[in-house]
Amino acid sequence: MNAAVEPHHPAHEKLGFFAKSLFIPCFFITTGFLINPRDFADSVRYHFPLVAAIIGALLVGKGIAAEIAGRKC
């Protein structure tokens, strides 16, 4: 999109709005339909330590990033 439209052109803002409001939700809906809920629940149940570790690492990483950003400002 950036190569096709100049950054300060009115069409750039309109294209960005449509890209964010249409493409992203369609992507998540399409991806959601590909997931089998029973397999997803089974994988969480049988691999719970791995799931907990991934979520824990995510939260710790976000906390570290927030702490660093808070100290910089």
pLDDT digits (tens, 9 = 90+) for 15-46: 778 777 888 888 888 888 898 999 999 999 99
Domain that holds residue 46: 36-73
Global pTM?
A: 0.56
| 48 & 73 share domain | yes
| 25 & 53 share domain | no
Indicate if the pLDDT at residue 13 is higher than 70: yes
| 19 & 41 share domain | no
* Interaxial angle between packed helices 37-46 and 48-72, expressed in degrees from 0 to 180 and rounded to the nearest 10: 80
Tally of structural domains, the chain: 2
Question: What is the share, in percent, of the chain residues with pLDDT greater than 70?
Answer: 89
CA distances from 3 to 11, 12, 20, 51 (A): 12, 10, 17, 40
Confidence band of 11 (pLDDT split at 50, 70, 90): confident
| 40 & 73 share domain | yes
| 72 & 44 share domain | yes
| 40 & 29 share domain | no
Stretch 53-70: mean pLDDT:
97
